[in-house]
A and B are shown apart, each in its own frame.
Chain A
Amino acid sequence: MTEDDSTIICRCEDITLGEIKQAVARGYATVDEIKHYLRAGMGPCQGRTCGHLVAQVVARETGRPVAEVWPMRARPPYHLVPFSTILAETGGTVAFPKVGD
């Protein structure tokens, strides 16, 4: 079966299988590089949906094990969180910082 290059791999950023294969062909050979080059994994889900898919494609295209191409660093806050929740969490009121602070 031939695979469809228009398949969306990263849904948040709308990145296709074909784009990832092209990026690998261009020499971008790790998930981190694909993230910086294509934004795959930078969307609201932070790569939770696409990370392992991108890793598999990159590993397959480069002939390397997944562990070698995917040392991606998870970035806080890990879940989408509104500023208002952060403020409530810390008991902070919305105080205007004083000049000179």
Chain B
Amino acid sequence: MPGKTYDAVIVGAGVIGTAVGYYLTKRGIRDVLILDKGYVSCGATGRCGAGVRQQWGLEMNCRLAKMSVDMFAGLSDELGEDIEFEQSGYLVLAYDDDTVELYRKNLKLQNSLGIPARLVTPAEAREIVPVLNIEGLVAATHCQTDGHANPFKTNFAYAHAAVREGCELHTFETVTAIETDVKGVRAVATDKGRYETRTVVNCAGGHAAEVGKLAGLKLDCFPERHQILVTEPYERLFDPMVISFVHHLYCQQVVHGAFIMGLGMPEAPGFNDDSGWEFIEAMARAVTSLLPILAGVRVIRQWAGLYTKTPDAQPILGEHPDLPGFYNAVGFSGHGFMIAPATASLTAEAIACGCTPELIAPLDAKRFERGDLVLEPNVV
């Protein structure tokens, strides 16, 4: 409703924006408006692999991921819609001794935080994924409680629950200006109206830096294309997500039998989200060397979406130090789906209590300026 004053206005109705809306209502903040220039799941969320992994190298990431997995496990019941969360595991491949050493260290950390990951031999890896080519493989790590969810269903379930609990959701409405005064954020203007509020949450995915700019802020994040494809459904061949940081590849057989697979390739920053032949070619080579049986499987569709990258591949969270009332939940650098429940609920907590939860304190917007980068070895 134009003219109304909102407790908070959220820019973006991807998994992050809708989840922040939902968790705000759980904290009693219900006059919340969620705006999207497209529709629910039109951004990175509706294009992502939706893999959920807890095997990280930094304590903060392990804790955010574990907290999210615990939340994902109860989310279908909590939101009242099936998000198809399956804990079918992640198998992370290692091709040299240094990597195995690093993974041993990571495992110690993960285990100390209650993440049940373990080191497996190539032979054991083949028991978990019988069609895996183990040539050159030195070891792997496996965590059964990792998994995946349906990104559309998760995004729609959060959106429906947020609206049910009191949020307003406007789709096909673009935020065009953010007004400020001496106290901080004052109002949000769109192509359709103007809304007074003292709190804005930037959940604009690939467009996050532009939205920051609307408020006069320079955010250190930029969009980068990432490509992915899906095959026709097949009989079940293996359960876990198979991931190799050497091949920059991940591949998973999802609930209805299709294989979803992505490949990290060198990209220039930008909004290009076309899909290219070079990707499908590189993928054909990479995936059939790792999983030769897939040579005969037919590709249904390839597409691309935007990662929102930051200099340390970690998100920017919390209130912006230079603008009271301007919160960011952006820059997820290709792993924003798996930590959406935790980061969105901590963002709601920050807004509700006017404080910074300890877990996300290192992720403030100005860490790059200070040189306090949060470096994580395990990113695709």
Q: Which residues of A contact B (CB under 8 A)?
A: 27-28, 30, 32-33, 36-37, 39, 42-44, 46, 75-77, 80-84, 86-87, 90, 92, 94-97, 99-101
Give bound CA distance, A101 to B295, whole Å: 21
Q: A30-B39, A96-B289, A100-B246 are in contact. Are A83 and B303 (CB under 8 A)?
A: no
Question: What DSSP secondary structure best describes chain A's contact surface?
Answer: loop
In the complex, 15 of the A-B residue pairs with CB atoms within 8 angstroms, ordered by the A residue number, are A28-B39, A32-B39, A39-B152, A42-B301, A75-B302, A75-B303, A76-B280, A77-B280, A81-B299, A83-B287, A86-B299, A95-B289, A96-B133, A97-B286, A101-B247
Q: Which residue of A43, A75, A82 is within 8 Å of B298 (Cβ)?
A: A82
Is B96 engaged at the interface, CB distance under 8 Å to the other chain?
yes
CB distance from A60 to the nearest CB of B (A): 20
Contacts of B371 in A (CB 8 A): none
Residues of B256-297 at the interface with A, using a CB-CB cut-off of 8 Å, are 275, 277, 280-281, 283-289, 292, 294-297
* B40-48, B110-118, B183-191: which lies at the interface: B40-48
Is B232 engaged at the interface, CB distance under 8 Å to the other chain?
yes
Report yes or no: B289 in contact with A84, Cβ–Cβ below 8 A.
Answer: no
The total of chain B residues at the interface (CB under 8 A) is 38
Report yes or no: B300 in contact with A37, Cβ–Cβ below 8 A.
Answer: no
Give bound CA distance, A101 to B285, whole Å: 12
Name the residue of chain A whose CB is nearest to the CB of B273: A73
- In the A-B complex, the 4 residue pairs with the smallest Cβ-Cβ separation, listed nearest first, are A80-B298, A86-B284, A84-B295, A83-B284
CB distance from A73 to the nearest CB of B (A): 9
Is B156 engaged at the interface, CB distance under 8 Å to the other chain?
yes
Q: A32-B39, A36-B152, A77-B299 are in contact. Are A84 and B246 (CB under 8 A)?
A: no
Contacts of A99 in B (CB 8 A): 95-96, 136, 246
Name the residue of chain B whose CB is nearest to the CB of A33: B39
Is B135 engaged at the interface, CB distance under 8 Å to the other chain?
yes
Contacts of A95 in B (CB 8 A): 285, 289
Q: A76-B302, A83-B299, A96-B136 are in contact. Are A36 and B285 (CB under 8 A)?
A: no
Contacts of B136 in A (CB 8 A): 96, 99
Contacts of B39 in A (CB 8 A): 28, 30, 32-33, 36
Contacts of A39 in B (CB 8 A): 152
Give bound CA distance, A42 to B302, whole Å: 11
13 further A-B contacts with Cβ under 8 Å, apart from A37-B156, A80-B298, A96-B289, are A36-B39, A36-B152, A36-B156, A37-B152, A44-B300, A75-B301, A83-B288, A83-B294, A83-B299, A84-B284, A84-B296, A94-B288, A101-B246
